[in-house]
Structure 1
């Protein structure tokens, strides 16, 4: 892995232009806080701006912000950006308002005491932005500076040149959806029903479990940017495998911690059997697990180093650093499978929600999980994860700089 190329920031316009690329969308009614490590940007946090009742007594909100930022143990400062736009469509230019001055003052005091002093803060409205601390009308006009200065910043242009884009907010209607023809969707859904019946009678077979993981592993090892060719039987098989909870959960563990951890964890649960039964199956052209003699030999070797358990992986406690490349590849595959609709889409969206949460992107996680529950109300794993996200829990990896996912 090569060292990442550093982006040079020459002014506040560059920082404010970087934020939408970091989040993936232009935030509205949001507080964005960025930790600082000396002169380097650290972690990015986005929270909904509080309403009038909370602003009247913002202590609890301020402590919440500190609790998140304090997870970055190397941080020695903070940048704050108040995106006050509410997405309104009223005519005429909208100047920056100052209804969050009291909140900024509270954050200033608490973060200073915690060793995370606010170095700079800005208000960003629909049409204008301004330095929150500047009162000199000669450099900070009352209405603020035009928003276009952020959009025209050097760093924003650099990010676009490097292929970064700013999309719709999580959960926004009309967002980009992988194109799928109605004929292809119908063919996959029909084939999926056949695979569902075949796999259901093999759900406790260790041989079939290994065959499913191997079929997924081929996709997780695809080169970055490699096109996703159509494959009716393959997509139907993958979607059918997600309908079996034990296999669904093992897929996440395998992507993050490796196939051995997924197999060892399943063995610990005692849900798989290596006895006689239907032979394992896989789509035509896809890998098939080895014969029973090889599987039995593998069983004898397994268990010397079981690795992290499922709960440790799903909470981001272990491994020390997950395989982000494989998780990124899994996310792309799940995006394609979710676009086909039907019950398996709830599983795909739920796994995408967990991946987003493990990346520290709570807004995307909540959007994916909510969509999963729209597809299949009562989907238990989506409910549990959404409750976790709603409580503000941070994935263990996202809370550690050495383990956290980096978009750039």
Structure 2
């Protein structure tokens, strides 16, 4: 999963332990039991590719082939730093844990033409570099990472707290606001009162107008509880959910088109993903005249049309508010939208966490299940492999180690 996180400053890592101290800032969370590949274009970090550590050595070759294949698709990448995070210990292994996997990644990356600037392992009791012949067999102490001064240059808004994990950044819930959202949701579910409830929303009763009201421009104040509840209510209905998330990413016109085809009595996008058998092969040689299929391909990331990042970020903020204040039983649709939106920005780990939460709330939520399997298989939207325009680049960079 490719995790790309915008930063607001250029930060330089003078040493390997400084670099390790800054990796959570790049990823947006603190990795655990993961293989990360930080990819570079020149001295600018472009993103972080993350995979779970394989359970068995027999799976190493397949994983590394997938990782290097993905990196080869990213435009203008010339260097990488693979990092393994493991809860194993140097002391228990008699040396670096997961050394064979790290060596395989470094070797394959070099064969593919990438400069391997370093190859690091951070274990439960120490860290080390594969490329440092003088590294102690039992690793360097973790305190070097924990006390690194490099993080002092990270702006406060970009710093990662000790317990931050993918998808854990929901705002704290306000009990009174949560009660108001729950009351409005109950009213919306009560069909005899639905017309009256909608009349109070005015033009925002229309899903297209609602989305534009919520995310078209930066908000100066929180969304009122009733509109937040109406969004959560619509997100729980598959045709509205799919159309709204497409509108958020690609604009009002796409949303209107999506709503035109959303009256079909089936979950179109989920059906398309299921029919794809989670196959990443490009089957788009024939023209796709059917609008329904075109929209499904957008959901699956089979397009070079790049989502509007500013709209997506504003929507994720609104969704965080909605998820935090909605009853658990009503969160799945909103979590599903948040997961897909995170994925459109290359944040696969965050997307997976949102989708896992959706399935915890409703194990039968079919779209979350299909997206979790699709994204978990390593699928990435085609647009993430093309460098964005200068105004949309990640402004932060880490050079080094």
Q: Distance in 2 between matches of 1:61 and 1:143?
A: 27
Deviation for aligned residue 1:110:
1.9
Which residue in the other structure is 2:63 paired with? 61
Q: Distance in 1 between matches of 2:94 and 2:82?
A: 15
Which residue in the other structure is 2:336 paired with? 350
Deviation for aligned residue 1:354:
0.6
Question: Cα distance 1:239–1:104, how it changes in 2: closer, same or farther (>3 A)?
Answer: closer
Question: Cα distance 1:94–1:168, how it changes in 2: closer, same or farther (>3 A)?
Answer: farther
The structure in which a higher percent of residues are helix is: 2
Q: Distance in 1 between matches of 2:80 and 2:212?
A: 41
Gap runs ≥5 in structure 1: 273-305
Deviations 1:305-328 (A, max 9, x none): x9x942243233446321111111
Q: Which has the larger radius of gyration?
A: 1
Deviation for aligned residue 1:84:
2.3
Which residue in the other structure is 2:249 paired with? 256
Contact 2:33 2:86 in 1 (8 A): yes
Deviations 1:182-234 (A, max 9, x none): 4443332222222243669999xxx979822212212213426x4426x3322
Higher normalized contact order (CA 8 Å, seq sep 6+, divided by chain length):
2
Which residue in the other structure is 1:296 paired with? none
The question of 1:105 aligning with 2:93 is answered no
Which residue in the other structure is 2:186 paired with? 193
Deviation for aligned residue 1:111:
1.7
Q: Secondary structure at the match of 2:118?
A: strand
Q: Distance in 2 between matches of 1:124 and 1:9?
A: 16
Which runs of structure 2 are paired with 1:162-173 in the superposition (5 Å)? Answer: 162-166=157-161, 167-170=163-166
Aligned length: 356
Gap runs ≥5 in structure 2: 1-6, 266-290, 397-401
Deviations 1:358-389 (A, max 9, x none): 12222222221121112122112111111111
Which residue in the other structure is 1:297 paired with? none
Q: Distance in 2 between matches of 1:127 and 1:160?
A: 28
What's the TM-score once normalised by structure 1's chain length? 0.76
Deviation for aligned residue 1:176:
5.5
The question of 1:394 aligning with 2:380 is answered yes
Q: Distance in 2 between matches of 1:177 and 1:75?
A: 33
Which residue in the other structure is 2:29 paired with? 25
Deviations 1:70-101 (A, max 9, x none): 22131122211122235x9xxx9989832422
Q: Secondary structure at the match of 1:398?
A: helix
Deviation for aligned residue 1:13:
2.7
Q: Distance in 1 between matches of 2:370 and 2:30?
A: 28
What's the TM-score once normalised by structure 2's chain length? 0.77
